Chain A
Amino acid sequence: MFSLLKGIWTVLKHSIRKRETVLYPEEKPLRYPRWRGRIILSRDPDGSERCVACYLCAAACPVDCISLQATQDKQGRRYPEFFRINFSRCIFCGFCEEACPTYAIQLTNDFEMGEYYRHNFVYEKEHLLISGPGKYPDYNFYRVAGISIGEKNKGESENEKPPVDIHSLMP
Chain B
Amino acid sequence: MGEPIRSIIILIAVLVGVLAIAAGLIWLERRMLGLWQDRYGPNRAGPFGSLQVAADMIKIFTKEDWIPPFADKPVFVIAPAIIVVTTLLSFAIIPFAPGIEIVNLNIGLLFFLAMSSLSVYSVALAGWASDNKYSLLGGLRAAAQMLGYEVFMGLSLVGVVMLAGSFSLREIVEAQRKVWFVIPQFLGFVIFLIAGLAETRRIPFDLPEAENELVAGYHTEYSGMKFGMFFVGEYIGVTLISALIATLFFGGWLGPLLPPLLWMMIKTFFFICGFILVRASLPRLRYDQLLSFGWKLMLPLSLLNIVVTGAIILAAS
Spell out A's residues near B (CB within 8 Å).
4, 7-8, 10-12, 14-15, 17-21, 23
B38 close to A19 (CB less than 8 A): yes
Contact residues in A for B277 (Cβ distance below 8 Å): 8, 11-12
Range class of the B interface residue count: 10 to 19
Contact residues in B for A7 (Cβ distance below 8 Å): 281-282
B282 close to A4 (CB less than 8 A): yes
A14 close to B38 (CB less than 8 A): yes
Contact residues in B for A4 (Cβ distance below 8 Å): 282
What is the distance, in angstroms, from A37's C-beta to the closest C-beta of chain B? 24
What is the distance, in angstroms, from B309's C-beta to the closest C-beta of chain A? 22
A19 close to B40 (CB less than 8 A): yes
What is the distance, in angstroms, from B147's C-beta to the closest C-beta of chain A? 24
B280 close to A20 (CB less than 8 A): no
Q: List 15 A-B contacts (CB under 8 A).
A: A4-B282, A8-B281, A10-B281, A11-B277, A11-B281, A14-B36, A14-B38, A15-B35, A18-B38, A19-B34, A19-B38, A20-B38, A21-B38, A21-B39, A21-B40
B281 close to A19 (CB less than 8 A): no
What is the distance, in angstroms, from A15's C-beta to the closest C-beta of chain B? 6
Contact residues in B for A11 (Cβ distance below 8 Å): 36, 277, 280-281
Report the nearest A residue to B32, measured CB to CB.
Answer: A15
Report the nearest B residue to A18, measured CB to CB.
Answer: B38
Question: A8 to B43, alpha carbons, bound, how many Å?
Answer: 25
**CB of B8 within 8 Å of the partner chain:** no
B38 close to A8 (CB less than 8 A): no
B36 close to A12 (CB less than 8 A): yes
Interface residues of B in 25-61 (CB under 8 A from A): 34-40, 43
**CB of B278 within 8 Å of the partner chain:** yes
- The digit string for B260-298, where 1 denotes a CB below 8 A from any CB of A, is 000000000000000001101110000000000000000
Question: A36 to B282, alpha carbons, bound, how many Å?
Answer: 36
Contacts A11-B281, A23-B43 known; 6 new A-B pairs at CB < 8 A: A8-B277, A12-B277, A12-B281, A18-B38, A19-B38, A19-B40
Question: A12 to B280, alpha carbons, bound, how many Å?
Answer: 9
Report the nearest A residue to B278, measured CB to CB.
Answer: A8
What is the distance, in angstroms, from A36's C-beta to the closest C-beta of chain B? 24
Question: A20 to B278, alpha carbons, bound, how many Å?
Answer: 22
Contact residues in B for A8 (Cβ distance below 8 Å): 277-278, 281-282
Interface residues of B in 134-174 (CB under 8 A from A): none
What is the distance, in angstroms, from B187's C-beta to the closest C-beta of chain A? 14
What is the distance, in angstroms, from B193's C-beta to the closest C-beta of chain A? 12
Contact residues in B for A17 (Cβ distance below 8 Å): 38
Report the nearest A residue to B33, measured CB to CB.
Answer: A11
What is the distance, in angstroms, from B18's C-beta to the closest C-beta of chain A? 27
Report the nearest B residue to A12, measured CB to CB.
Answer: B277
Report the nearest A residue to B41, measured CB to CB.
Answer: A21
Question: A7 to B37, alpha carbons, bound, how many Å?
Answer: 13
Question: A14 to B39, alpha carbons, bound, how many Å?
Answer: 10
What is the distance, in angstroms, from B236's C-beta to the closest C-beta of chain A? 24
B40 close to A23 (CB less than 8 A): yes
Report the nearest A residue to B39, measured CB to CB.
Answer: A21
Max chain A CB contacts within 10 Å: which of B36, B40, B280?
B36
B40 close to A15 (CB less than 8 A): no
What is the distance, in angstroms, from B289's C-beta to the closest C-beta of chain A? 13
What is the distance, in angstroms, from A25's C-beta to the closest C-beta of chain B? 10
A14 close to B282 (CB less than 8 A): no
- The digit string for B56-89, where 1 denotes a CB below 8 A from any CB of A, is 0000000000000000000000000000000000
Question: A8 to B278, alpha carbons, bound, how many Å?
Answer: 7
